[in-house]
Structure 1
Amino acid sequence: MTEGVIEGAEIECPLHGARYCLKTGKVRAVPAICSIRVYPVHVVGNDVLIELPV
């Protein structure tokens, strides 16, 4: 998804064109049928911090 196109609160997969909600990871457009994982993100100064599960 690092190459995905973001529009509003959705991201489009560059490989198959499926769309996902950036906030929940839920599928918004086929061909995907499974949600993707999302992680809380915080911007602190010039740093982007991603909360990963332990």
Structure 2
Amino acid sequence: MPQLNPSPWFVILIFSWVIFSAIIPPKILAHLFQNDPSSQSAKKSGAKSWGWPWH
């Protein structure tokens, strides 16, 4: 049964983990946002509270 021979699959596993753990994360972390996400959180909405009593 050639499926049980680990030699070609182990190399594929190691190369895929090297790609996923060493090459892809720096590319994702280098991504820059178009808009600053903290600028919208500084504004407070002018929503009024509910004035009716709860029954």
Query: Shorter-chain TM-score: which interval?
Result: under 0.3
Q: TM-score, normalised by structure 1?
A: 0.17
Q: Which structure: greater helix fraction?
A: 2
Higher relative contact order (CA 8 A, sep 6+): 1
Q: Which structure: greater strand fraction?
A: 1
